[in-house]
Amino acid sequence: MLQHSNDAPSMVAVRPYSGPVQVGPDSVPDAIPDQMPDQMPDQMPATSVQARCRAVNLAPHRNNVGSTPATDTRGGAFNIWGNSFPAEELPAPGQFVVDQVAYDFPPTGRGTADNVRAAGQFIEVPSGRYDWLYVLGAAERRVEDELAFHFADGSVDFEQLRLSDFWAAPGWFGETQVRATRSMHYPFHVQAGVPAMLWSQRVPVTRRAALAAVRLPRNPAVHLFAATLVLSGGEGR
């Protein structure tokens, strides 16, 4: 009889990876909480979270289908292979809190665009003074690229957007791991044991001026599902 499974677990000696996530089926949690431990309500009331956050409206800019249902994986196009996130394992549409930041997560798994593949989009934002731009996303391989903050007074600052790989990879840039899915969707099958990674990352807004818009990198490896600006201390209260 042919054998296609590991001979025995004790025979496998996989050197532990030093990163926060060990790839492979053993790294995938049985249950994925909707909130990370540091976002529990007793640490910051939901009203406080909402008061300090301004969701960036990405809806007009979504241009990529990054998630699919297990029943129809063919329409996914997160990467050049047509891999996609399992929609069943992504956050529900609407408010999703991680890193004490309220994101507006898009509908997924419907065969329509659910994320922004970065192509230099110029995105106007609610005017305000902010400390951070938070993003929920992932990259097709590791990415470090420049985005531009445009301010109401005409000034422009460039900052680095850093996102780790979505394909069975550890977070390389110190992001918060939001999802390590139990499976990866391929165009013609669902692959167990290869996690798709979703990250929460942040970019500093250092200038003390009213922000007007964000220019994304012209980089097709960057994918953003949601973005939220965090007001400077004292604002929004």
Partner 1 sequence: MSSRPALEQWYRDPVSCLQSTLATLLLAQGQEPLEVLGLGWGFLHLPGDVRAEEFYWPTRTPEDPVAGVLAHHPVTSRWRAADPEQPLADLQAALAAGKLPVVAVDNFHLPFRPAYHDVHSAHLLVISAIDEERELVRVSDAMPPAYQGALSIPDLLKAWTSPNPREQEAFFSGAQISGRWLDIDLGGPYPPLDRGRLRAALKTNADRFAATGDPRGGLAGLAAFSEELVAAAGSGNGAVLEEAYTFGWGVQAQSAVHGELLRDCAVSWKLPGLAEAGRKVEQVAHAWTPVRVTSAYGRVSPQDWIVELQRHTRRLQLAYRDALATVDEALEEL
Cβ 130 to partner 1 shortest distance, Å: 25
Note whether 148 binds partner 1 by CB under 8 A. Answer: no
Beta strands in 58-174 (DSSP E): 67-68, 85-86, 94-98, 101-105, 116-117, 122-128, 130-139, 143-151, 156-163
Is residue 116 part of the contact set for partner 1 (CB under 8 A)? no
φ, ψ of residue 46 in degrees (nearest 5): -60, -35
Q: What is the 3-state secondary structure (H, E, C) of 81-103?
A: CCCEEEHHHCCCCEEEEECCEEE
35 to 40, 49, 96: CA distances (angstroms): 7, 13, 8
Residue 197 · residue 225 · CB < 8 Å:
no
Residue 31 in contact with partner 1, rule: CB under 8 A: no
Using CB under 8 A, pick the residue from 56, 133, 136, 139 that binds partner 1. Answer: 139
Q: Decide: is 99 part of the binding site for partner 1 (CB under 8 A).
A: no
Tokens (6 digits) for 122: 């110029």
Residue 51 or 77 having the CB closest to partner 1: 77
CA distance 4 to 23: 20
Task: Rule CB under 8 A: choose which of 93, 111, 128, 220 binds partner 1.
Answer: 220
What's the min distance (Å) between Cβ of 164 and partner 1? Answer: 8
Sole window of 35-43, 48-56, 102-110, 137-145 interacting with partner 1 (rule: CB under 8 A): 137-145
Using CB under 8 A, which residues numbered 159 to 198 contact partner 1? Answer: 164-165, 167-170, 172, 184, 186-189, 191, 193-194
Residues at the site binding partner 1, with contacts judged by CB under 8 A: 2-7, 10-15, 17, 23-25, 80-81, 139-145, 164-165, 167-170, 172, 184, 186-189, 191, 193-194, 217-221
